[in-house]
Amino acid sequence: MKLYTSPTEWAVQNARMNVTFHYRKQRRQIVVDSIELSSPPGDILLCTRVAKTSDNQLIEQIPSAFSGIKMGRSSSGSITLNHYIPSLIPSIGHRWFPRMRPRYAPYRRLDMHLYRFAKSLSDHLGNVEFIGPFRSKPERLYPFSGERPSSVGVRGDKAVHILVADAARRRGKRRNIAQDVSHWVKKAGIAKGIELLVQSERHFEARVTHFETGETENIADVGYGCSQILPILVAGYYLPSESILVVAQPEMHLHPKAQAEVGTFLCEVAKRGVQLFVETHSEHLLLRLQSHVASGELTPEDVNVFYIYPDEQQHKKICHRIPLGKDGFFIEDWPRGFFPERLEEAKKLAKFSV
């Protein structure tokens, strides 16, 4: 076991936390059975287990550098959980007598490592942007207070505010997110572009240029798909590398060509170092990602496709990974015939047309 003599020696950035738990039906609560904090290549910082007579977490394994900490006893080894993150009991280290300080020194050092782990995990989760399936409806006027939002929000209601804040910055610091968004909507065949117009000192209007006629209309007066994809585009162009973008149903209210272009957009975002988790029902989006794999822009390892479905025999939901080959085709068939449904409908159509 490696000795930890300073706070910097334990690799917090590469730490791994494994949590096992069970659901207590009678009380409708989750009980954490055990927690393991480790750092590659296998250095253990902390292992805990739940006490049999209570729900307290007891220390079961720690590095030898923290010798002096009694393990497996609720009186000395109990820890608390804050959103599944372990920390030592609050009383330790606050009300000592001078003669007891050497005894509790290992607790202080272990608690320092746990704090650094919790801080690192909190910072990492702070880089996660989640956009739900139901985005906010478009507004005719958007108020702007001068603040710079850090995210578009779960419903995407801060997307226009981010565009306005970016346009107000100096040229050297401006990221031109609105231009990137306009380029994408034109490529997707949704509109020629999107522009922001000042209507008062604190109010802005988002206008969309019609793809065919060149007319400009308020975003509230055009197809709903434009306002629904806007937060996803803004987040994708706004997030820095090493961020995580979680999107549910980005294809909502988009026609097939635009759905396919969403696949290319996701590919571009991933190339900038943003990790993506996308829940979709769009075959057009997935086919575009497959074509990027076939062309070599993405590797099969870059795209992980999971199909989740209920299993009647096992009485639970199954999460099944379907791997891709270098040619972009799936190596195995889809369970339950999700996407192959199009082929079956085509067969029926051909049968009736004969």
Q: pLDDT tens, 266-323? A: 999 999 999 999 999 999 999 999 999 999 999 999 999 999 888 888 888 888 899 9
Q: What is the DSSP string of 264-287?
A: HHHHHHHHTT-EEEEE---HHHHH
Mean local confidence (pLDDT), 61-76: 69
One-letter amino acid identity for 190? I
> Max CA-CA distance within the chain?
95
One-letter amino acid identity for 5? T
Q: Which two tokens stand for residue 92?
A: 């330790």
Q: Which two tokens stand for residue 328?
A: 């972009």
Instruction: Decide which of 69 and 288 is more confident.
Output: 288
Please give the pLDDT value at position 73.
56
Check pLDDT > 60 for residue 169.
yes
> pTM of this prediction?
0.79
Helical H segments across the chain, by residue range? 101-125, 159-167, 177-187, 224-238, 256-271, 283-295, 341-353
The sign of the dihedral angle between the CA atoms of 165, 217, 254, 134 is positive
Q: What is the β-pairing status of strands 275-279 and 78-82?
A: unpaired
Mean local confidence (pLDDT), 217-246: 94
Check pLDDT > 80 for residue 159.
yes
Q: Specify the range with the lowest mean pLDDT, choosing from 228-237, 255-264, 328-337.
A: 328-337
Instruction: Decide which of 147 and 286 is more confident.
Output: 286
Q: What is the β-pairing status of strands 85-88 and 78-82?
A: antiparallel
One-letter amino acid identity for 223? G
Check pLDDT > 60 for residue 15.
yes
Instruction: Decide which of 22 and 101 is more confident.
Output: 22
As a whole number of angstroms, the distance between CA 262 and CA 198 comes to 29
**Owner of token pair 């069970």:** 22
* Long-range pairs of 218-221 with CB within 8 A, sequence gap ≥ 24: 218/138, 218/140, 219/138, 219/194, 220/137, 220/138, 220/139, 220/140
Mean local confidence (pLDDT), 247-252: 96
* Res. 64 pLDDT band, cuts 50 70 90: confident
Please give the pLDDT value at position 2.
37
* Res. 178 pLDDT band, cuts 50 70 90: very high
* Res. 97 pLDDT band, cuts 50 70 90: very low
Check pLDDT > 80 for residue 106.
no
CA atoms within 13 A on the CB side of 191: 26
Mean local confidence (pLDDT), 117-141: 89
Please give the pLDDT value at position 103.
67
Check pLDDT > 70 for residue 78.
no
Please give the pLDDT value at position 8.
41
Contact 108, 89 (CB under 8 A): no
Residue 327's Cα: distance from chain center in Å? 28
Check pLDDT > 70 for residue 11.
no
In the chain, the domains with their CATH numbers are 12-124 (no CATH), 128-303 (3.40.50.300)
Percent of the chain surpassing pLDDT 90: 43
Please give the pLDDT value at position 101.
61
Please give the pLDDT value at position 3.
34
Q: pLDDT tens, 266-276? A: 999 999 999 99
The kind and range of the H/E element at 318 are strand 316-322
Check pLDDT > 70 for residue 7.
no
Smallest CA-to-CA distance from 328 within 303, 294, 351, 304 is with 294
Mean local confidence (pLDDT), 177-203: 92
* Res. 140 pLDDT band, cuts 50 70 90: very high
Check pLDDT > 90 for residue 128.
yes
Q: Per mean pLDDT, which of 10-14, 81-85, 111-115, 219-223 is the most reliable?
A: 219-223
Q: What rounded mean pLDDT belongs to the chain?
A: 84
Cis amide linkage into residue 41, ω under 30° from 0: yes
DSSP designation for 324: B
Contact 283, 263 (CB under 8 A): no
As a whole number of angstroms, the distance between CA 235 and CA 334 comes to 31
As a whole number of angstroms, the distance between CA 218 and CA 251 comes to 22
As a whole number of angstroms, the distance between CA 51 and CA 177 comes to 53
Contact 49, 56 (CB under 8 A): no
